Amino acid sequence: MNSLIVSRFGGDAAANSEEVRKAAEIVKSNPARRYIIISAPGSTHTSSGITDMLYMCHASAKNHENYDVTLGKILDRYKEIVDGLKLNFDIYTEINALRESLEAGRDLDYIGSRGEYIMAKIFAKFLGWDFVDASEIIFFNKDGTPDMAKTFSIAEKKLKNYERAVIPSFYGSLSDGRIKTFIRGDCDTAGALVACAVKADLFEKWSDTTKIYSADPAVIPNPEIIRNVTYNEAIELNYIGINIVKDNVSIMLNESGIPMKIASINDPEDDEMLISPKLPENISRRLVLCIAGQKNFNVIRIQKYGINRTYDIEEKIFGLLSKHNIACQHYIAGIHRMALILKNLRFDLRRNEILDDIKTIIQPDSVTVERGLSLIAVIGEGMGTVKGVFGRIFEALASVGIKVQMVEQGSDDLNIIIGVHDNDYENAIKALYQAVILEG
């Protein structure tokens, strides 16, 4: 059976005619690429992205202001693409339709979706493929979340009628037919939904760069590039601030058993990463995938005799944090003590109110706040099941005189999170990289 690939191209791959040609060459280089999801042209060094300009036009139209200059810039961007591709495509009709929609007072989601709509029609014309409107195959619930069951059912049936098709990203439709857009930056979800619907063998994401490093290049010169990741590892990397792909996309593709390739349009042969439900058997990779961290956390230490026997303590703690719109990064509890680890900025704004609530609601024996904590995550699938890994981690830190302030091991053997003083952050990263990446 022939394999089936769903490929998504971001706004940088549609920025101008040269980039669109690159994307087309990639598509044509593998006949298994049958369904293409494409974004609106992104920003360049001389122009805002098309979607941003569409939002500007909508705001101007809503305020009864002139938007001709911005609409002219949108026309110029598309005209460069059409002319550069030497394509017989009537861009003026599309822009006139956009103007009519603005004059008619169409809502923001509809106007914002037109960038992808027009770009997908151009790309389909250039490839000689069919165009399928995303509003006909991608659906949303009333609360704005994707209706996956309806999308999978309808998209699978409809796309069977098309051997090859180009589909806009960024939007779908509600049950009443109105256009609904995804959250900005969440266009991968559209591609993943299509990939799952057609039961693709691979989902690809093409962008201008793909390099993810095993440690911060600002701390470690020339760190190793990560090539193979599991979806579980990708979710852990997101948590610590290394954003490969959004969690909802990882979960969706993982459940469907579809691997994802992230590749660069500028170096399609060599610069790529594979994310999969589990590491392929033919892949040999270090046990520890990545060392990453963040600075500037606060630790609230609460001491209360027998706090572990207070049955509703977690409900009280998280309830008061929710009241102040504060996220708890980590929660560590013992018999008589607990520690809450919070990001500095938001906590600093509500510090006195939060501490007063803790004293009133929890009635602790004592509560203190410590500033300047860094959290460092050592991440690797199955790391906790291998003897000696954690020993090397703590020996490495001790060898350079770093005091560990806190430790938390994930229950799924994917990571261990270590807290150190901000002043020790860089040295800790260097010591850990040497011990568990270079020598691991």
3-state secondary structure 358-390: HHHHCCCCEEEEEEEEEEEEEECCCHHHCCCHH
Return mean pLDDT, the chain: 91
Lowest average pLDDT, out of 4-8, 110-114, 204-208, goes to 204-208
Distance CA 222, CA 108 (A): 44
pTM of the predicted model, to two decimals? Answer: 0.86
Quick one: average pLDDT of 360-367?
A: 93
Quick one: average pLDDT of 396-415?
A: 85
Tokens 């809502």 belong to which residue?
A: 107
Quick one: average pLDDT of 375-402?
A: 87
- For residue 1, the model assigns a pLDDT of 45
- For residue 426, the model assigns a pLDDT of 95
Tokens 């009628």 belong to which residue?
A: 161
SS3 label, residue 100:
helix
Distance CA 37, CA 172 (A): 12
Roughly how many angstroms between the first and final C-alpha of the chain, as a whole number?
40
Please count the residues of the chain.
440
Helix (H) or strand (E) holding 164: none
Lowest average pLDDT, out of 68-82, 108-122, 311-325, 339-353, goes to 339-353
Confidence check: pLDDT of 412 > 90: no
Lowest average pLDDT, out of 84-88, 198-202, 238-242, 358-362, goes to 238-242
